[in-house]
Structure 1
Amino acid sequence: MVLSISITGTAASRFNIPRLSPTRGALMHNPDLLSSAAVSDDLQTFYYPQTLDHFNYQPESYATFQQRYVMNFKHWGGANNRAPIFAYLGAEAPLDGDLAVIGFLDDNAIRFNALLVYIEHRYYGKSIPFGSREEAFKNASTLGYFNSAQAIADYAEIIMHIKKKLNTFYSPVIVIGGSYGGSLASWLRLKYPHVALGALASSAPILYFDKLTPRGAYFSVVTKDFKETSETCYRTIRDSWSVIDKIASQPHGLAILSSKFKTCEPLKDSFELKDKLGDMYAGAAQYNAPPTYPVTVVCGGIDGANGKQDILSKIFAGVVAYEGNRSCYINQPTDASETDVGWRWQTCSEMVTPIGIGNNTMFQADPFDLNAFIQECMSLYGVPPRPHWVTSYYGGHDIKLILQKFGSNIIFSNGLRDPYSRGGVLENISETILAIHTVNGSHCLDILPEDESDPEWLVRQREAEGKVIQGWIAQYYADLEPTLIKQKDLS
């Protein structure tokens, strides 16, 4: 069964693609946010009988499943005032975490008198086809309906259902998403312009496909983040890999490493340790948000260790600083979450993000090997990935040349300390497709809740985004006025 997938051995370094979650960093450092107390009492949950397959007319395509969406009417100006709708597009996780952590909608609800809608992505959370998660993830035949095109069609259908149900045909819709969800928001605006007036795509790496972005870009930014934080920390990490390999090659070397890093189970090979450390450094960089700044935390542990300690003791001090005091670290016995399993299918089908590790980083070189990736996916699902499909279906090549005349009303926001920002849109495409980025920002930081401790550059980024959206809506109302006058004359 797909649910029992585990990846081990050296192939995993080529196979794993860093998660594209807008909430992972926030929830990792504050898991209490998922408590019911953190979620607003103003949220109302609904279910929509969603079509399984929007693009075929075979009998099985007409099957339905219950797709969850949540609404907040508290500050909505109402249908009679044509007040706007802000629709958050869920990504590769249950919707619960987004309700607790995504703040942009709630923070702007009063300003725009907006109705807030949050829609869960198919195959996650409670939006499971085929009656159960076990059946939905059974094999490639049931997983075949699990893709981005079906997802944005789901979102479009639910948004149109809500507008019809509330009789709010002329309320402009702004779709908002982060990371993979940010890509979905931009693609929905391009594919369904009659459904969404505009899109805020936060940390959306829509150019990290095919060969649009250098394959080593992600880990180059991780390295840059650490090097700029602390040169000594960077050098310690860079030099640690060969030390791990040297010890692992010795008799009882894995036992020595297991003891040194207080692993939860004895290491089977050095890759387990190196993979965990690499994930930690990448996650710290991707979610290097104020006020804690995880890269600074890791380097504080490494640099703060006793100068007489050996290099691996310093590395372990960084692990403890990042993860806190635990009974054990590395290879904790945990079951793969539905998010991990779902994202693995998505990256093994269409979301083939060719992230590798090149030379001149603080990591050991490990280039992305497409053939090996395809073989791994074939062994798991029996079907090969389609590495060129995203750019075929959504575009990406010569993006400015194409979209400056074709598209409109999209904000691509990024923080340049986010390794995924290298696959984002960092320059304005036109007067209405804008790139708003901050030098010090991290992954999806702009759509997380506002806080009094927010640095000025983050406050300005959010203000700029709000001003652009306000302009879209004002222009929409101005363009709508002649239509309303004509309708009134004909009535």
Structure 2
Amino acid sequence: MAKFRFHIRYFLLLLTAAATASSFKVPRLSIYDPRHHLAGGQTSTLTAAAEGFEPHFYNQTLDHFNYLPESYLTFRQRYFANSKHWGGPGAPIFVYLGAEAAFPHNFSGGKSFLIEIAPSFNALLMYIEHRYYGESIPFRSSEEAFSNSSMLGYMNSQQAIADYAEIISHTKEQFNAGDSPVIVVGESYGGMLAAWFRLKYPHLAIGALASSAPILYFDDITPQDAYFNVVTKDFRDASETCYLTIKKSWAEIDEMASKPYGLSMLSQKFKTCVPLKNSTSLTDELEDLYASAAQYNAPPSYPVTQICTAIDGFGPNNDTLGRIFAGVVAYYGEKPCYINEPTQPSETDGGWDWQTCSEMVMPIGFGNDTMFGSDKPFNLTKFSDDCRARYGVAPRPHWITTYYGGHVHSRSSFPSIYL
């Protein structure tokens, strides 16, 4: 038992190092690179089936926090277990908490990390899919589940971690693993869930790895421009020239757009899929591109380096927009067209949009000291109006810190009273 405690302490030390090394990054919190094409090659993956993950379904309670008749409805929630290296009752259980995406059929990042270390700890591995994603859909179909705010109202972090608590308890019973210590693991939004799970269910998990988990990006605890300051630093560290080119490109885009036929020239310059109606659609997409490149700046592609190499290596220095477009091509690869590409909204996009419009209200903006041009602070009023227009509900910007904490308050105490 002493040897096992040593291994667990060592594992937690590894978790701390991994979490500390992770960059503090946000907007769409999925751990999966949004590009369909990685110009620099795909990251290596491990196939879930080949690694011994067996699918299971649990009849999950729709609403854990009310006693209304409809609260007792159930849905099939998918989870996976891998006992390939498990040492039996008493050996640890590592649980990867699903975030805003379906269960992946191949593994990379934190999931492959757990597969690699499982033999050393004789660990049982689990992956639990988040409600409303993948095959863990309440109601009869995704269309019904996402049809309106009444159906989407059961989709929040509190319900999600309660789901995880039920499935972990069920699995421990099934495997006769009542004495097995549990460590929950997550990345990005999943990392937030891991931290909050440990906070709310300490009797079920002895530790949590919350990697790249922006749990303090709520209620103005963290400065609004912190995220884009990190993005800017990533590009500036890669190349000062690249950073300066991006920084001055915004004014040149606006200047060209203001000219007669300027939007047509910009559409041609950037090979847009449909003609630009304003410059904002172009600048918004470039902002997302740079943010995604920084957020997923990992080997082997290192997209920030790819973009800056293309920008710095492009033709004449006075053709700023030509250099910016070279960076776009480096990021996406050769395509018939780039900006305003018609796409079908994914399950992840729709689900995360609801979550940010309800509880996950992270005030992210940027100031003049970033590479993103003029000051663009987060506007809660406009954000709330947009959410009301889409869903008929208003965001609750203070709920996360009310429920999970975050603000540092002075400690209170009370005297001991003996009767």
Fold equivalence (TM over 0.5): yes
Residues of 1 paired with 2:169 and 2:78: CA distance? 15
Aligned to 2:288: 279
- Residue 168 of structure 2: which of 159, 165, 170 is its match? 159
User: SS of the counterpart of 1:209?
Assistant: coil
User: Cα offset for 1:399?
Assistant: 8.0
The aligned residue for residue 195 of structure 1 is: 204
Instruction: Mark the CA change 1:38 to 1:32 in structure 2 (over 3 Å): closer, same or farther.
Output: farther
Question: Are residues 1:344 and 2:353 paired?
Answer: yes
Q: Aligned in 2, Cα 1:313/1:254: closer, same or farther, shift over 3 Å?
A: same
Q: Which moved more, 1:317-326 or 1:53-62?
A: 317-326
1:405-460 Cα distance to aligned partner (Å, 9 max, x none) = xxxxxxxxxxxxxxxxxxxxxxxxxxxxxxxxxxxxxxxxxxxxxxxxxxxxxxxx
Aligned to 1:388: 398
Correspondent of 1:88 among 79, 82, 96: 96
The worse-fitting range, judged by mean Cα deviation, of 99-108 and 310-319 is: 99-108
Q: Is the 8 A contact 2:93 2:182 kept in 1?
A: yes
The secondary structure found in structure 2 opposite 1:129 is coil
Partner of 1:263: 272
Tell me which protein shows more helix as a share of its residues.
1
Matches within 5 A, 1:341-380: 341-364=350-373, 365-380=375-390
**Residue of structure 1 equivalent to 2:3:** none
SS in 2 for 1:66: strand
**For 2:108 and 2:71, how far apart are their aligned partners in 1?**
34
> Which amino acid counterpart does residue 89 of structure 1 have in structure 2?
L
Q: CA deviation at 1:287?
A: 1.6
Mean CA deviation greater in 264-273 or 46-55: 264-273
Mapped contact 2:47–2:106 kept (Cα < 8 A): no
Counterpart-to-counterpart distance in 2, 1:376 and 1:19: 17
Which residue in the other structure is 1:146 paired with? 155
1:235 alignment partner, SS class: helix
Specify the SS of the correspondent of 1:103: helix
Query: Which position in structure 2 is the counterpart of 1:212?
Result: 221
Task: Return the offset for 1:24.
Answer: 2.4
Cα 1:31–1:150 shift into 2, 3 Å = farther
CA contact (8 A) 2:83 2:125 kept: yes
The answer to whether the 8 A contact 2:55-2:81 is kept is yes
Offset at 1:61?
0.1
Matches within 5 A, 1:389-404: 389-398=399-408
User: How far 1:32 moved relative to its partner?
Assistant: 6.5
CA distance in 2, matches of 1:157, 1:38: 23
Which is worse superposed, 301-310 or 65-74?
301-310
Distance 1:317 1:27, change over 3 A: closer
Alignment partner, residue 231 of structure 1: 240
- Report sequence identity in percent: 61
CA RMSD of aligned residues (A): 2.1
1:73 aligns with 2:83: yes
Correspondence for 2:182? 173
Q: Deviations over 1:224-272 (max 9, x none)?
A: 1111211111111011111111111112111111110111111121111
1:64 aligns with 2:74: yes
| Cα offset, 1:23, TM superposition | 2.8
Corresponding residue of 2:6:
none
Instruction: Please tell me the residue identity of whatever aligns with 1:130.
Output: F
2:59 paired with 1:49:
yes
Q: Secondary structure at the match of 2:31?
A: coil
**Shift in Å at residue 25 of structure 1?**
6.6
Q: Mark the CA change 1:173 to 1:349 in structure 2 (over 3 Å): closer, same or farther.
A: same
Question: Retained in 2: the 8 A contact 1:48–1:68?
Answer: yes
Contact 1:356–1:368, Cα closer than 8 Å, also in 2: yes
Distance 2:105 2:212 in 1: 18
In structure 2, stretches of 5+ residues that fail to align are: 1-25, 413-419
- Inter-CA distance 284–117: structure 2 relative to 1 (3 Å threshold): same
Aligned residue for 1:40? 50
Partner-residue secondary structure (3-state), 1:95 = coil
- Cα separation, 1, equivalents of 2:225 and 2:407: 19
Q: Which residue of 134, 137, 145 maps to 1:136?
A: 145
CA contact (8 A) 1:47 1:68 kept: yes
CA distance in 1, matches of 2:50, 2:211: 23
1:241 lines up with 2:254 in the alignment: no
Q: Are residues 401 and 189 of structure 1, via their aligned partners in 2, closer, same or farther at CA, if it must alter by over 3 Å? A: farther
TM-score between both structures, scaled by the size of structure 2: 0.87
Q: CA deviation at 1:99?
A: 4.1
Q: Following TM superposition, by how much is the alpha carbon of 1:31 offset from its aligned partner in structure 2, in angstroms?
A: 8.7
C-alpha displacement of 1:291: 3.6
Matched residues in 1 for 2:370 and 2:304: separation? 16
SS in 2 for 1:130: coil
How many residue pairs match? The answer is 384
The gaps in structure 1 that reach 5 residues or longer are 1-16, 403-491
Q: Provide the C-alpha distance between the structure 2 equivalents of 1:230 and 1:359, rounded to a whole number of angstroms.
A: 19
1:320-331 equivalences in 2 (<5 Å)? 320-331=329-340
